[in-house]
Chain A
Amino acid sequence: MRPTPNTDRPTSHNLMRFHFSLLLLVTAGLVVAFAPLPAQPITPQERTFEIDAHQFAYSPSEIKVNPGDTVTIQLVSTDVVHGIYVDDYDISVEADPGQSATLTFVADKPGSFRFRCNITCGAMHPFMIGKLTVGSNNWLYRSIGLAALAVLGMTVSRKQKA
């Protein structure tokens, strides 16, 4: 952040204050982004989802589980061959038309992940996408916090200099 043109040349005192608020902001940002949250102890469960795959969507297209759960996905393709690939978990399974296939994994990474079709199944195939949320989508909340903090910091530092 550099001084804006329509304020006077910053005095060293002002500059120090500016650097200090910048430091405070960056620290606050780091806390928002990386501070560990208290883990809520939830006993892991076994969960099964039947996901119906058809051109070009899954239903249900959003599934939510708790961290540590053992998740079984029964993928049923109702028209052509579809698959499911879970981002970040890097696991996948494919199902032939009218058939079902099973994918079991332990949801040990918390957060929100896209899952997507990994078998070219038609025009909109690259956009055949669903969403798996493990625990709560903390990264989203942290990001929104960062955005709010950034804007607040800029408005305040602007006022201070004015």
Chain B
Amino acid sequence: MTFEVPDDLKYQESHEWARAADGTAKIGITDFAQDELGDIVFVELPDVGDDVSKGAEFGVVESIKAVSDLYAPVSGTVTAVNDQVFDAPELVNDDPYGDGWMLEVELTDESELDSLLTPDDYEDQIA
């Protein structure tokens, strides 16, 4: 089975992605992660204004069969939360890189992006 790994994102080993632009980054989980989890039924996320730290837990995603912590791929202050995934968590299954995004953060250290996996590296990890 092949999974979508978009070229314009950076990835974390724990299967979160970051899409950086203009000092901010959108964050979500990968196609591989949503497939591993199965039917997602619940997402718990921080509030706008909260801080997240690279590598630290920032929320929880639950499928019918499992609970998984979410780890921030970058540090920053939350500027937006995708509250659509609270009422329709299946968006994370259906469109993990689009409508199923989770947070937008204002980056505190853009150089952290350099330590994330490239699409090629992430593809190797999930191969």
To the question of whether A and B form a pair in one complex, the answer is no
Interface residues of A (CB under 8 A from B): none
